[in-house]
Structure 1
Amino acid sequence: MTHSVYIIAEAGVNHNGSLATAFELVDAACQAGANAIKFQTFNAERLVTKTTSMAPYQQKNIGVTTSQFDMLKSLELQLEDFAKLDAYCKRQGIDFMSTAFDQKSLDELLTISSPPYLKISSGDLIDAPLILHAAQKNIPLILSSGMATSAEIENALSIIAFAQKKTAVPPSIKEFKRAWQEKETRQSVQDNVILMQCTTSYPAPLSSVNLRTMSAFARDFGVKVGFSDHTNGIDAALAACALGACAIEKHITLSKTMSGPDHIASTEPDEFAEMVKRIRNIELALGSDKKEPMGIEYENRTVARKSLIAAQIIKKGEIISQENIQILRPGNGTPAIYYWDIVGSVSQHDYTPGQPLQEVLL
């Protein structure tokens, strides 16, 4: 990663089925400073039955009621489209990614692209065969946790752990859990998975995002954590970075007024760029976990700190007492923390009033 926080512009289906719009989204993500742009690779026939209804938020955001199948069919891009997008992203210097929603789509995607991560969507957190298939590709995974319980998350991580074993043992819940308990395979998961806190609602109210779960993920599962943000605005994403997210995913659109299921819960290019700018500022402010004086502080240490100062004439060999010294700025003498060690000792030098003591503790 070029930066510690990996910022993904989630284009998703905001291209509305248009390759030209998809290219515009790539340009917008590049100009905004995103590390990656992510699309969605699916075939409606392999994803949903023809009678499945749209989600309530989709009906509300689109303003029409149709089947989920018909909606998704209108939002498909073809494999050759993704190949063109991947090539364009390489030329533009931004990572290309796409969430695959079935095994065949994933395999096809990997014939035309070498993404830095594979993304498992929240809806597929319990699709064990898809997770296992993805984990066997030996590409780092980003796992989204929307709608999930902690137990379901652990099951998904266990599947990924099982994949690391490269065993001929048939997959099963029992074998998944066994793999998760093994130190080596668990460590591999922890090294290669980013677990994203996510609330599956578009847009998601701020009161529903529960960013503190990222700390619980890190504590309970030992994985790297991130945040897939579906809220309006950028406050939640910024807070997630301050709390330790190593990846941020945020929807991007050319205009929130466009027709489609996700535009209204997306950021327009200028807002996305502002988010990136602020995340980079937060990274600078977070700095290191090692506490030591910063370079710019050294010039202030002498004038801001206090040292032991002669309050009156002190002769070499004279006893230093509470009466003949005081604690004042500047801090270029014997540090004030040694007050009690110095009081009662024999002065090693002659001092005039106002002169910083230069006593060496014996």
Structure 2
Amino acid sequence: MYDYKSFDLIIDARSPREFDEDHIPGAVNLPVVDNAEFAEVGTLHRTNPLAAYQLGARYSLENISRHIETHISRYGSKSRILVYCFRGGKRSKVWQDVLETIGYRVERVKGGWKAYRRWVNEQLAVAPSGFRYIVVSGPTGCGKTRLLAALQDNGAQVLDLEALATHRGSIIGAVPGKPQPTQKLFDSLLLARLRSFDPERPVWVESESKKIGQVQLPDALLNAMRAGMTVAVDAPMALRVQLLREDYAHFEDDPGSMIERLRYLRPLIGGEEFDRWESLATEKRVPELFERLMRHHYDPTYRRSILRNYPDIDASPKIMLDGLSLAELQPVAQELIARMEQPATQN
């Protein structure tokens, strides 16, 4: 497929609905027809194909004219433009014809988004194995995600899967006001991130389950991570509680909403323990609630999971963090990079 970063502009000519489901990362949605127009033309095509094509052409020219004024006009004549639609057919061709008439250098994705999607699936089956991974493990609230940010600040290659998934990975991990990407878009974002890495250097990643919220990690990535090195991170309970209060601040005023998300755990942890959670939520004793959740659910669950996926975790280097702010984690990140990346570089 294409080296997408070599283009000055990538145009997704499909409808906004199709674009939202998945698109080439970095592409701009300049639809030939919008959602309503796409549905209208499709419905008409079933009874009168000629009228449908005429209507589609009128909508296309109107929309492309507007896109040229609002977006295309900012690009110079030497700009390289890539355009695609669903199958590489009419919608991308009309864009290509117009842009080439203006004088732009334009390429069209052969086979369109469908060909791109096949390529993503093929790549995700093999690309993850091209890297060596350093897997940061540790219980809920110990600062793994913040440590990854500090590692990236100090030049490490970081694969932040939770950022790509727009989810913190736990039952209560949905990010308020930010929906998760579809599985297809997550796959696209993941592959784009992997392709940005240097295979000669390690990739730092947090230990994750198969699913992060509603999206799934490819088996090839999980297998490659499990074959990598591990670092076991922890922090005192008081710091972990404080981190959860900061990262899940939306539950401070409404801890009951958190309890509702956890309700399906009642049969697993027992009615007496769940009743205790509900009591703490009702009384808005949030620090105690977070601590109890970790001690009685998250910590034992994580321990079972990490031993299943990383059976040698107890032999890993161990780090007890004494501060979880980004500033406090900078020297920790620098030490980790020097300790775990340098030997691999020298080999």
TM-score of the pair, normalised by structure 2: 0.26
- Would you tell me which structure has more helix in proportion to its own residues? 2
Q: Answer 1 or 2: higher relative contact order, Cα 8 Å, separation at least 6.
A: 2
Structure with higher Rg: it is 1
